[in-house]
Amino acid sequence: MADEDTDEVVKAKPPILRYVLIAFIFIFMMALSVGITAYFLGFFDAKQDEEIEKAVQQLEQEAEQARSRAEELARGPDKVSIDAPQLQRFKNSYLEIEAPLVANILNSRKVMQVKVAIMTHYDDRVIANMETHAFAVRSEMLDVLRKVSESELAKDDFRKKLAEDLKMATNSVLERYEDFGGVEEVFFTEFVVQ
């Protein structure tokens, strides 16, 4: 049996000292690499830190000056009072159509009743023309009112649009008979839908 034990292949154990030496060299090389990198990046240079601090302080001062200049520019120049020229204002003349305008709503059982007034910047000739052609103007306004549908009544800007349409109709009648419209705005003094 003793011969059999010697015949077996004896496995050699790796030397532990070699592994410890390799690990030590590896750690030393890593530390050396970090140290050299830090040196070249200026980690150990105190003068560079002072220069950076000075540069940062200078930039902060410049930024503060720029901010104060921007605030001054935003305020604008000092206000100077000047005399405003006299604006020429035109006299507004109004005329209310006495009788209410009554029309059926298109494809509905509802009825709309409105009273309107017109406004002009021109002289009294426009008012006189409105009174002269009152029947034609009234007829044209009724034609506009009878074309109003129930869906149009629900719109937010319905009254503004209707006033604009009535103004256009009134001016078209006056231009047809007097060659000049002159109605600037139409106002509702009463507005009822039933």
- Answer yes or no: do 157 and 70 share one domain: no
Residue 156 counted as domain residue:
yes
The domain total for the chain is 2
Pick from 151, 152, 149, 146: which is nearest to 166 by CA? Answer: 146
Residue 108 counted as domain residue:
yes
Tens-place pLDDT, residues 60-82: 999 999 988 888 877 766 665 65
* Interatomic CA distance for residues 21 and 142, integer angstroms: 111
Residue 110's pLDDT band, with cuts at 50, 70 and 90, is very high
- Answer yes or no: do 142 and 169 share one domain: yes
Tens-place pLDDT, residues 164-175: 999 999 999 999
Please determine, for residue 159, whether its predicted confidence score (pLDDT) is greater than 90. yes
Pick from 177, 105, 174: which is nearest to 186 by CA? Answer: 174
Residue 27 counted as domain residue:
yes
Q: What is the DSSP code (8-state) at residue 149?
A: B
Residue 142 counted as domain residue:
yes
The rounded mean pLDDT for the chain is: 85
Residue 84 counted as domain residue:
no
Determine the 3-state secondary structure of 84 from DSSP. coil
* Interatomic CA distance for residues 16 and 31, integer angstroms: 23
- Show contacts of 64-70: CB within 8 Å, 24+ apart: none
Residue 149 counted as domain residue:
yes
- Answer yes or no: do 99 and 184 share one domain: yes
Tens-place pLDDT, residues 4-28: 555 555 566 667 888 889 999 999 9
